[in-house]
Amino acid sequence: MATVQRNSSIEILRVFFMILILVIHVYYHGSGQGFELVYSLGKRLTTAWNLSLFNVGMLGVTGFMFISGYFGIRTNRKNLLRILGFPFFYALILGIIFKHCSLRDIFYLLFAFNGWWFVSCYLFIMLLAPFIEGSIKKTSERNFFWLLMGMFVYTYLMRFLSKDNSHDIIFLLSVYMGGCYMRLFPMSGFARMARKIGGGSIFALILIPVLMAQIKWQSDKFLAYFIQNNNILLFIVSYWLVYQCEHHVSYNKYINNLAKGTLSIYLITDYPNVRNVITPWLLPFLLKGYGLVLIVMISIVILFIDLIRGRFFEWFYNKIKKLRNEYSYH
């Protein structure tokens, strides 16, 4: 079977979304306030740069999960072993470095929804993916649309109005299902509308927080509604960006090889001992306006580190395979 070449434009977009996740982690964990920082943006993040970057940073998780839904998750033994082995390796190595390498610590990171929560949720969705894909193929566009709207009412309306800014399996599942819908029904009214307003929605994410911050009366209250994960504009922009990249096909083997390690950016920087050091260190630079350059540089270094890990794994696997073949021959 011929290997399908990955579109390098999509791979770059995947890395871009992961960098945005790191940006939000710096604001979130580096401040020591969590998402309560959102409620004081107008006071603490006084520059237009930080207001805009914080809001655009919210795009990271939605965009990264949208790509998985749009292109689908292949649930097979190889992919399951990869998605388990990849984080397990970093949990073990980082655990040895920071002396937290017990099976309990590793299990907590991988499977507790308040450890590496994204990995835990992704594994769960990966197990559900065959059922989801099979069910979608048997239903009509109309039925799928109303199912999706039901999930969106909860995620993008009820939780939006309650300012519930949390990430959980329901949130990611809604984004994943939305990605599936946009892929299967690109000529639906919802998809066509999203493509029309997607470009303008990017400017809205950038400019509206800045304009809101100029309103003296209850500006923090309005910002708390707009700057959160459950903002439908994040979904629309994610689709628009993926759609644009999908129709600008390019292939670069070096970019694709490097982008294979995108998840390592999350795994390393969100490891508790690393996160507790790196995010407070980066926050002052980010507030001053040039921290984003440091975040991009750190992300690139991690990608190269993971490239070395990938080469080692490949060498080790081939060595084991060769020894097994020699043993079988004798």
pLDDT in tens, 236-283: 999 999 999 998 888 898 999 999 999 999 999 999 999 999 999 998
Residue 330 lies in a domain: no
Residue 167 sits in which domain range? 8-324
Determine the Cα angle at 23 with ends 35 and 55, to 5°: 60
- pLDDT digits over 69-124, tens only? 999 888 887 778 778 888 888 888 988 888 877 777 787 777 766 678 888 888 88
- pLDDT digits over 13-66, tens only? 999 999 999 999 998 888 766 545 555 555 555 566 777 888 899 999 999 999
Tokens of 174: 């809604």
pLDDT band at 201 (very low <50, low <70, confident <90, very high): very high
Side chain identity at residue 229, one-letter code = N
Residue 146 lies in a domain: yes
CA distances from 179 to 103, 242, 249 (A): 35, 10, 19
CA distances from 151 to 28, 188, 243 (A): 26, 18, 22
Q: Which residues contact 315 (CB under 8 A, 6 or more apart)?
A: none
pLDDT in the model for residue 217: 47
d(CA 190, CA 208): 23
> Percent of the chain scored above 70 by pLDDT?
86
* Cβ pair 225, 160 in contact under 8 A: yes
Residue 212 lies in a domain: yes
Q: Average pLDDT, whole number, for the chain?
A: 84
Q: Helix-strand-coil percent breakdown of the chain, rounded to 5?
A: 80, 0, 20
> Percent of the chain scored above 90 by pLDDT?
39
Residue 22 lies in a domain: yes
> What's the structural domain count of the chain?
1
- Nearest in space to 172 (alpha carbons), one of 67, 271, 253, 267: 67
Residue 39 lies in a domain: yes
Q: Which residues contact 181 (CB under 8 A, 6 or more apart)?
A: 144, 145, 148, 188, 190, 191
CA distances from 225 to 169, 175, 216 (A): 21, 19, 16
* Cβ pair 59, 175 in contact under 8 A: no
d(CA 271, CA 95): 9
CA distances from 324 to 27, 130, 204, 222 (A): 49, 32, 58, 63
Residue 2 lies in a domain: no
pLDDT in the model for residue 195: 94
- Nearest in space to 295 (alpha carbons), one of 318, 319, 273, 265: 265
Residue 1 lies in a domain: no
Name the more confident of 35 and 187: 187
Residue 232 lies in a domain: yes
- Nearest in space to 50 (alpha carbons), one of 68, 34, 26: 26
